[in-house]
Amino acid sequence: MSLLDSVVRRTRTTLHRTAPGLGRRARHAVSPWRRSLSLRVVSITLLVSSLLVAAFGYFVAKQITAGLVVAKRQAAVRQVSSGAGTVTQQLAALSGAQDPQLAASVRDVVVNLYSVPTRAGTYEVKLVPDSRIDVAPYGGPAPDQTKIEVPAALRDTVSRKGALAYQFTTANPDGQGSRPYLAVGEHVDVGWGVFDLYYLFPLDDEVAAANLVRNTTIIAGLALVLLLALMAAIVARMVVTPVRAAARTAQRLSAGLLHERMEVRGEDDLARLAASFNQMASNLQNQIVRLEELSRLQRRFTSDVSHELRTPLTTVRMAADMLYAGRDEFPPAAARSSELLADELDRFEALLTDLLEISRFDAGFAVLDAEAVDLVPIVQRVAAGFGVLAERLHAPVQLHTPDGPVIAEVDPRRVERVLRNLIGNAIEHGEHRPVEVHLAADERTVAIAVRDHGIGLRPGEEKLVFNRFWRADPSRARQTGGTGLGLSISLEDARLHGGWLEAWGAPGQGSQFRLTVPARAGDRIVSSPLPLVPPDADVSPAPLALPAGPAGSGGAAGTLDDEPTPHAPDADPLTAGSTRGGGDE
């Protein structure tokens, strides 16, 4: 039994090693067929035309050969019938089977029959007397031709039925190989006795003609197939070349070369296609330019307004601070108003700061100040900062960090801001349950996961969470005084690191956010040391894991099995979705 197990293990290992190679070779073999339209058109044309030409050639060759055989048989039957009349005319004059001139007459009849010209071509004659007539059979044109024997089945049919019959046979009279013959026999009654007359017609000319027809058909068929394949290749090239040009132009357009256009030649359908494509490209270019201008104006407006608000906000802040400091001398209503004014100014100032940060991301001016830091103290410091809020909401923050340091080249200010947003949201939406923060690392990546056991997500909400100012429950009171831009900024911070910010959630199961960044700045990440779906989840819905790649480039999206797709499209913070609210920190 152990020997059998060893054999099975070795076989399985061999299959695992060879199967990927076979699969790759099969994919490489199929790839040209799938990629090349010309190859498919020419191959299909070649296959179909080969089948049609082969069927047509077989039918034509068969019909011509059958026609040759029928013509030969008809001429042979007429010749035999004529020869039977000659035998009857010449042998009927004899007195009977005892006539002394019988043997000479038989030879003369055969010689005369052979000398008669006929449309059936060359032939050989055999005259076989009945068993009651005492004379030897004779064949011509020469005595050595008697070596060609008449088929026994034909002899039996002619003798027994007394009718004309024919049969195809082969013979080797000269010892140089078998040759095809048409044997025709007729029962001849001369009055005083019975003779069987046989003609043997060689079919060498018919075989040569059939071979000529077959060879001609094969050569003509091959030439026709090659000509059709050449025509298909030319037509496919005429059609595919503009399509390839359109594909190349579309790729250049998608790469940002908006001035690229197709060359228009002629006035046919392909020319109209190229003209329509160029018109579409021009319209797209105009729309993109217009949208870029609108986006630039919007970013400039946001930046200008944010900067312009700084001065009046500073003045209002100074006045509000003076009112807040002297609120004890005010009546209760005025004191409360000064407190509300101070709180709202704090929130307004935070919102203004976030708007300035968003405008920097939109303008592409955000810069990563990466340095090698230990992430454990950062996580502990952020968690400690929420101690009062966590105690008030009965949602303690539980840290799960490695015993040793976790060193990574990151921007500590941006990582700390991401953690503040994630932990603050988890506390606020945790429904008075503990919040778990996990930190893990491997050789190339570092991951931080924030898990809450709160309300979770309804289907479809995972597509909206990173939208700016989006909230899962608009009627829900904010506990942390956030601006609604926290998760959008966190997503951009993660992208700036070349990392991912992903989310998972389920109704009643809470949610989990996972930040994954490379251990060395600039490295590309392909996996995360922490799972996106928490191990304690009872259900495993398919979350939308938003990529957070480097700014201006595509990131990778995580999946349930924690194997992100390396080439997933980049997510726009204005349209991206994930779990829960749009960020309240």
DSSP letter string, 326-348:
TGGGS-HHHHHHHHHHHHHHHHH
CB 578 within 8 A of CB 546: yes
Residues 189 and 278 in one domain: no
Is residue 512 packed enough to be buried (19+ CB in 10 Å), middle (13-18) or exposed (0-12)? buried
Give the span between the Cα atoms of 107 and 464, in whole angstroms.
113
Same domain for 102 and 231, yes or no, is yes
**Burial, 521: exposed, middle or buried (Cβ in 10 Å; 0-12, 13-18, 19+)?**
middle
Cα dihedral sign for 15, 21, 27, 32? negative
Rounded Cα–Cα distance for residues 368 and 499 (Å) = 12
Domain match, 357 and 488 both = no
Q: Are residues 300 and 320 in the same domain?
A: yes
Out of 468, 493, 518, a domain closes at 518
Number of domains in the chain: 3
Q: What is the pLDDT of residues 363-383, one digit of tens each?
A: 677 788 899 999 999 999 999
Q: Give the pLDDT mean for 262-282.
A: 83
Q: Please indicate, yes or no, if residue 557 is contained in any of the structural domains.
A: no
Confidence category of residue 323, pLDDT binned at 50, 70, 90: confident
Give the CATH number for residue 490: 3.30.565.10
- Which position has the token pair 């998972």? 504
At 168, list the tokens: 């195809």
**Range(s) of the domain holding residue 112:** 29-260
Same domain, 166 and 296: no
Q: Which two tokens stand for residue 372?
A: 């090698």
Q: What is the CATH number of the domain that holds 241?
A: 3.30.450.20
**CA dist list (Å): 300 to 211, 306, 469:** 87, 10, 20
Last residue of a domain, one of 220, 236, 260: 260
CA distance 130 to 54: 51
Q: Are 519 and 407 in contact (CB under 8 A)?
A: yes
Residue that is last in its domain, among 211, 228, 260: 260
- Choose among 437, 354, 440: nearest CA to 390: 437
What is the per-residue pLDDT for 145?
45
CATH number, position 349: 1.10.287
Tokens of 387: 């101690």
- Structure tokens, 567: 């080439």
Length of the chain equals: 585
What is the Cα–Cα distance from 161 to 247, expressed in whole angstroms?
Answer: 81
Tokens describing residue 123: 């032939």
- Helices and strands of the chain, counted as H and E runs: 11, 12
Torsion of CA 576, 580, 581, 584, to 10 degrees: -120
> Does residue 39 sit in the same domain as residue 173?
yes
Percent of the chain with pLDDT over 90: 15
> What pLDDT, on a 0 to 100 scale, did the predictor assign at position 34?
74
Task: Check whether 246 has a pLDDT greater than 90.
Answer: no
Other CB atoms within 10 A of residue 241 CB: 12
Taking phi over 0 as left and psi of -120 to 50 as alpha, with beta for the rest, 498 belongs to: left
Q: What is the pLDDT of residues 328-351, one digit of tens each?
A: 888 888 888 888 888 888 777 777
Find tokens 């019959």 and name the residue.
165
Q: Are residue 200 and residue 254 in the same domain, yes or no?
A: yes
Any domain includes 553: no
Q: In angstroms, how far is CA 244 from the centroid of its own chain?
A: 18
**Phi and psi, residue 368, nearest 5°:** -95, 115
Q: Note the pLDDT of residue 84.
A: 86
My answer on whether 62 and 158 are in the same domain is: yes
What is the arithmetic mean of pLDDT over 171-197?
A: 83
* Band of residue 441 on the pLDDT scale cut at 50, 70, 90: very high
Is residue 80, in this structure, part of any structural domain at all?
A: yes
Task: Specify the higher pLDDT residue, 505 or 482.
Answer: 505
- Using one digit for the tens of pLDDT, what is the confidence trace for 71-103? 888 988 888 888 888 888 888 878 787 788 888
pLDDT given at position 160: 80
Strand residues in 18-140 grouped as ranges (E): 124-129, 138-140
pLDDT tens per residue across span 525-543:
989 999 988 888 775 444 4
| Span 481-496, average pLDDT | 78
Residue 247 Cα to chain centre, angstroms: 18
**Do 76 and 215 share a domain, yes or no?**
yes
Residue 485: inside a domain: yes
Q: Return the structure tokens found at 517.
A: 């960044």
557: which DSSP letter? B
* Token pair 């056991």: residue: 453
In a domain, 87, yes or no: yes
Q: Which of 373, 537, 362 is nearest to 441 (CA)?
A: 373
* Tokens, residue 155: 């002899």
Residues 151 and 208 both lie in one domain:
yes
Smallest CA-to-CA distance from 439 within 515, 502, 511 is with 515
Assess whether 394 and 346 both reside in one domain: no
Q: Do residues 255 and 221 share a domain?
A: yes
Q: Is residue 561 part of a domain?
A: no
**Any domain includes 247:** yes
- CA angle 325–331–335, rounded 5-degree value: 40
How high is the pLDDT of residue 482?
A: 56
Q: Is residue 93 part of a domain?
A: yes
Q: Which of 123, 168, 171, 163 is nearest to 147 (CA)?
A: 171
What one-character-per-residue DSSP string does 225-259 give? Answer: HHHHHHHHHHHHHHHHHHHHHHHHHHHHHHTT-TT
Q: Show the CA angle centred on residue 547, arms to residues 253 and 295, nearest 5°.
A: 50
